[in-house]
């Protein structure tokens, strides 16, 4: 999430109390899907990360990084904003659907969340989150589960972590706090160390099937083209090179994890190249516009800068790769999510 003149966001950890009793009391075993190898069962999809997979948690956090107002959500069920940084569904919803769990993934902080909703997963993601401790922090599990039945359920659930773009685009390139002290190799090392710590915590809590998305081609999102792409609004090569370097280090770290933890499946999910392919060849995927978002001018509007008063907002967001200047449209998430998973889904099992 990006603002041209925002201060670094601070967000204290949100403590997630143990879901042990919920699973033990209410769990059922439905949900096998033909999409999964070997007729595997996935009890739940649990997601951590940033605004790309936030399904509404920021509605209930004190932050300026919000989207609980029109035109966000205009193509969602009922046409109302839900706190998703999109015109409709986000990748978290499509991930839950692909794994055969449910079509809408609720936000953990939604006060209307029912105990039964936890059975098939929630999103803990928060817009503005990242791996860097200076970036608004990933909402994290803090309490372990203890009983064997719950541990088994957690070990068969799919955990997805999606973060890194805010660290690169915002914390590093848009504030003076890191760039003055780290070069890009050093900063990406810091990101990987923080990612490693978080993944170790998830494993310690019983997660065994963990998918970790790479950083996207962040230099090619509309806001970064505007801020760092020159007069022609080309892709920011420095941001993309930072993403490529981080992704290489992250992939190697996950390989190391899998060698050390034979009971786990940590799966690197490349989103950089599939998204870049859509941006470079939008017409092949049914899009007409890839260099600007649908909302307003599409060049800088995002979150509180993207409102129902924004001029020039498009009428058909499905023609645009991006909904606002930072986030993909629902149609992009719908196309991109299965592309990312297709080559890797078997590695979870």
123 noted as active-site residue = no
Q: Which residues contact 174 (CB under 8 A, 6 or more apart)?
A: 2, 227
Do 242 and 214 contact (CB within 8 A), yes or no? no
181 noted as active-site residue = no
The pLDDT tens digits of the residues spanning 15-71 come to 343 443 344 444 444 433 435 778 888 989 999 999 999 999 999 999 999 999 999
| Active-site residue, from 51, 174, 217, 333 | 51
Do 131 and 195 contact (CB within 8 A), yes or no? yes
Q: Which residue has the tokens 């978080």?
A: 198
pTM for the model stands at 0.88
324 noted as active-site residue = yes
| Active-site residue, from 54, 75, 110, 324 | 324
**Tens place of pLDDT for every residue, the chain, 349 residues?**
443 333 222 223 323 434 433 444 444 444 334 357 788 889 899 999 999 999 999 999 999 999 999 999 999 998 999 999 999 999 999 999 999 999 999 999 999 988 778 778 899 999 988 877 666 555 544 333 345 556 777 889 999 999 999 999 988 998 888 988 999 999 999 999 999 999 998 898 889 999 999 999 999 999 999 999 999 999 999 999 999 999 999 999 999 999 999 999 999 999 999 999 999 999 999 999 999 999 999 999 999 999 999 999 999 999 999 999 999 999 999 999 999 998 899 999 9
Strand partners, 141: 16
| Active-site residue, from 117, 214, 327, 333 | 327
Give per-residue burial for 271-301: e unless 16+ CB within 10 Å, then b.
bbebbbebbeebeebebebbbbbbbbebbbb
């Amino acid at each position: 999430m990006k603002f041209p003149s925002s201060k670094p966001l601070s967000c204290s950890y949100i403590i997630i109390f143990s879901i042990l009793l919920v699973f033990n009391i209410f769990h059922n075993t439905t949900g096998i899907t033909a999409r999964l190898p070997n007729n595997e069962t996935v009890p739940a999809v649990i997601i951590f990360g940033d605004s790309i997979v936030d399904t509404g948690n920021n509605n209930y956090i004190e932050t300026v990084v919000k989207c609980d107002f029109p035109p966000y959500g205009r193509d969602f069920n009922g046409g109302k904003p839900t706190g998703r940084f999109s015109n409709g569904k986000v990748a978290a919803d499509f991930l839950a659907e692909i794994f055969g769990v449910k079509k809408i993934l609720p936000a953990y902080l939604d006060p209307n969340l029912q105990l039964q909703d936890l059975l098939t997963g929630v999103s803990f993601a928060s817009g503005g989150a990242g791996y860097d401790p200076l970036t608004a922090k990933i909402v994290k599990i803090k309490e372990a589960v203890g009983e064997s039945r719950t541990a088994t359920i957690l070990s068969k659930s799919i955990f997805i972590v999606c973060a890194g773009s805010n660290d690169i685009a915002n914390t590093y390139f848009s504030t003076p706090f890191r760039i003055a002290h780290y070069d890009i190799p050093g900063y990406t090392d810091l990101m990987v160390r923080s990612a490693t710590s978080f993944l170790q915590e998830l494993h310690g809590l019983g997660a065994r099937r963990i998918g970790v998305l790479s950083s996207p081609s962040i230099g090619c999102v509309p806001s970064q083209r505007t801020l760092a792409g020159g007069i022609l609004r080309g892709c920011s090569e420095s941001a993309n090179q930072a993403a490529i370097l981080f992704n290489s280090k992250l992939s190697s770290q996950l390989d190391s994890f899998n060698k050390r933890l034979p009971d786990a499946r940590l799966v690197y999910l490349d989103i950089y190249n599939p998204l870049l392919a859509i941006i470079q060849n939008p017409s092949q995927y049914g899009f007409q516009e890839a260099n600007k978002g649908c909302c307003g001018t599409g060049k800088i509007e995002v979150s509180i800068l993207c409102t129902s008063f924004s001029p020039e907002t498009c009428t058909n967001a499905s023609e645009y790769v991006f909904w606002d200047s930072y986030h993909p449209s629902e149609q992009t998430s719908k196309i991109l999510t299965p592309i990312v998973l297709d080559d890797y889904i078997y590695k979870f099992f």
